[in-house]
Amino acid sequence: MMVGMPTLTRAEAVERASLVEVEDYHVDLDLTGSGDTFRSRAVVRFRARAGAATFLEFEPVEVASMTLNGAAVPAAAWTGSRLELTGLAAENELVVDATMRYRNDGEGLHRYVDPADGNTYLYQHVFINNAGRVLPAFDQPDLKAVFRVSVTAPEQWLVATNGALVSADAGRWEFAPTKRISTYLATLIAGPYHAVTAEHDGIPLALYARAALAEHLDAQAPEIFEITRQSLDRFHEMFEIRYPFGHYQQAFAPEFNFGAMEYPGLVVFRDELIPRSAVTESDRERRANIIAHEMAHQWFGDLVTMAWWDDLWLNESFAEYLGSRVTAEATRFSEAWTTFAMQRKAWGLRADQRPSTHPVAPSEVRDTEEALLNFDGISYAKGAATLKQLVAWLGDETFLAGLNDHFRAHAYGNATLTDLLGALSKSSGRDLSGWAELWLRRAQVNTLRAEVTRDGTTYAEVAVVQTAPAEYPTLRPHLIGVGLYDRADDGSVVLRSRHEVELDTSGRTVLADLAGQPVAELLLLNDGDLTYAKIRLDEQSAAAAPGLLPDLDDSLARAVIWASILDAVVDGERPVAELVMQVLAALPAESEVTIVEDVLSATRGLVDRYATPEIREAALEMLAQTADLLIAAVPAGDSRQLAAARALIGATVDTGRLHGWLTGENVPDGLTVDADLRWLITYRLAVLGEIGAEVIEAELERDRSASGEQWAVRCRAARPDPAAKEAAWTAIVADGSLSNRLAALTSAGFWQPEQRDLLAPYAERYFTDMPAMLRIRSGMSAEKIAIAAYPAVIVSEQTRQLAAGLLSTPGTHPILHRVVQDADDDMRHALAARA
């Protein structure tokens, strides 16, 4: 049974840091054995207060030997997940030889067997508090150390780590010591990985992927290297300290829990980012953004690391902001801020309005369990949007000067919010403590509404009204753009003028410059998307927007409008049926594929939850019509064609058409029904009960790959068959042998709005059975499954009552408590919208 590591509290971390200074770890791993274990021999050298006692995180299967300063450590010192040490000297050397267990949940040394060829692949992910699953470690971010790694592996394997390769001979790999890094940033990959290498500006580059993906990696390597080079050059233009970790390797690993992780010298990505089928330009932009995001972490997180998890935003908010910025400034994906406005900010806004909301920079994160839960839209997207606002306020030159001072002061060490504010205050000559209090230390979001009074065809008064929720009454200073848009004689919608406005905390700001000006067809608040807020247009602009969208050239302005429209539906201010009609009217003319994808996806999600079953059927038909119009309107092979085809497959009930596409009948010119599109069609047919298990197995036999295996488990769980549902549910809650990725995809396939009657009994079972899942899974894997398995499609007061019962039960696991709390709030919104 796999259980989570014990929580490390902040109080424990502070005390341990006052006693210990870690010098280095020498880790020697033997990966040649059979079975589900490996051997780990670790030498840990550290200084301590003489006579003190402390502990290391450590979770072995079996211990062969342990010595401290040459003396045997008693077996009783190992308590199952911690190694307790007493009588420390000023200089200490701990030597441990132990057997450790491979993981299948992405929380330790993860082992994966590729169904395509039977090859075994490993990657190390010891994020937050999992280092003890590989070696005994002082596992907290402010106890940085040098890592030196040696590995014995099968001779045909490739091994890579954070450090540079010193030698590789007959399966024995030796790596150079790293710079000082935190334990959670130590990684390695091992297996018959395929490699592609290059060099840029004196920096060795490498890409790694499974052998089964070799041809795809080779084909995509030029684009990945191009993005990597462009991003490195842009960061070197911004930052005075060059990339600080020697080589820059990027590995694409199977079943990775994150999209990617910023390990210095060896960034690891989920290997779905090496697609084997056709993708849209927005898919490619997403990969470019992730590459830039992880590269930003080499400075924010790796070079300078937070002292404790309450400053997580110093990692993620900066990487999120710089990822979008560098993608837009340095690569061909110049509309990356449009994606941010449509997609990432919506994630932040939704997280910020749930019961679990928290400040971007909380004053306290009590333990590592709470830290894990804060990896959300607030720490990423809200923080990034807040930084974008800060840059607009301070100016870019001042902002970058402060960052460079910060890097110089804390390179290879740790820092806090206070440290960063000090550097920015010095560079700007402004005291930023008040700004930080309002923007970083207080939760929730403001709403900005345009309040317009007209005098015939001119504005008598235009004001921006700022409000805040009663429970979080903070008003904030905002710097925004206000754009006036009119339709030109040629039919295009053009910007007449844009006004930069500073909103104070009074709650109402009059835009004196607009008095007496002709009324615009569209008055757009937050034009340029400079601030983080919910935007509501005045009634005339809101009514005109859908008709103006097709002829408005500025994709970022269109994104701000669509985000406002969608958010009004989320809040129950506009009906979902109206949204679907607006999508049908405006989206077929949309030129930006990211907007096409995000609007269709967000609308589909709202239709599934906010529409009654009767309205849902008609709404899905309208979404299918929208997709059909897009397919007909765009050039063959255009990214929007593929995006529309995906949406059509997910919305249609025309099973004859879907079967025809599988056999090549009436497929639109330019659209290829490749492996992944075949699976998407198969999945939809499974949901609709149009195929049996034998068809899924035949498709898997046709595509015996990692992707095929993942699609197959999702399709099996999606079938409206009682036996299939019971098997899927048992796998979700009780099968610890199922890997993290397969368990999450089984959960994702299980709940289908078309199957409410069949699934109704499982709503109650979620609340009775899910605690058992938390006993066999931990960390991010457990969180993802708990979210995906929630009965969100059973929108009823009874589901809410079941949720209330679990939330009031003492001892509920914190992960499950937060998932249920937030999902129940989403259901509250859905019920209100239906009413």
Hey, which residues are catalytic here? Answer: 294
Q: Which residues contact 378 (CB under 8 A, 6 or more apart)?
A: 348, 351, 352, 357, 358, 359, 360, 443
CB atoms within 10 A of CB 473: 10
Q: Which residues contact 118 (CB under 8 A, 6 or more apart)?
A: none
Distance, in Å, from the CA atom of 626 to the CA atom of 117, rounded to the nearest integer, reads 41
Residue for token digits 């504005």? 459
DSSP state, 19? H
Residue for token digits 């008064």? 461
Beta strands in 514-570 (DSSP E): 522-525, 534-536
Residue for token digits 């806090």? 416
Distance, in Å, from the CA atom of 341 to the CA atom of 561, rounded to the nearest integer, reads 10
- Alpha-carbon distance values, 248 to 223, 226, 261, 533, 642 (Å): 16, 13, 13, 37, 33
Distance, in Å, from the CA atom of 820 to the CA atom of 593, rounded to the nearest integer, reads 33
Under 8 Å between Cβ of 191 and 157: yes
Distance, in Å, from the CA atom of 566 to the CA atom of 562, rounded to the nearest integer, reads 6
| Amino acid identity for residue 206 in this structure | A
DSSP lists the bridge partners of residue 429 as none
DSSP lists the bridge partners of residue 78 as 83
74, two tokens: 């008693």
Under 8 Å between Cβ of 689 and 696: no
Distance, in Å, from the CA atom of 240 to the CA atom of 17, rounded to the nearest integer, reads 30
Distance, in Å, from the CA atom of 534 to the CA atom of 664, rounded to the nearest integer, reads 45
Under 8 Å between Cβ of 572 and 833: yes
Under 8 Å between Cβ of 746 and 732: yes
CB atoms within 10 A of CB 790: 24
**What is residue 670's three-state secondary structure?**
coil
Distance, in Å, from the CA atom of 19 to the CA atom of 138, rounded to the nearest integer, reads 11
| 339 CB burial (10 A radius; 0-12, 13-18, 19+) | buried
DSSP state, 137? B
481, two tokens: 């753009």
| Amino acid identity for residue 193 in this structure | Y
Give the chain's length: 835
**What is residue 70's three-state secondary structure?**
coil
Under 8 Å between Cβ of 342 and 812: no
**What is residue 342's three-state secondary structure?**
helix
State in Å, rounded, how far the first CA of the chain is from the last one.
Answer: 45
Q: In degrees, to the nearest 5, what angle opens at C-alpha 583 toward C-alphas 581 and 584?
A: 65
- Alpha-carbon distance values, 257 to 112, 133, 217, 621, 830 (Å): 13, 16, 21, 35, 29
Q: What φ, ψ does residue 412 adopt, rounded to 5°?
A: 65, 20
| β pairing state of 534-536 and 447-455 | parallel
422, two tokens: 């000090």
**What is residue 706's three-state secondary structure?**
helix
Q: What φ, ψ does residue 390 adopt, rounded to 5°?
A: -65, -40
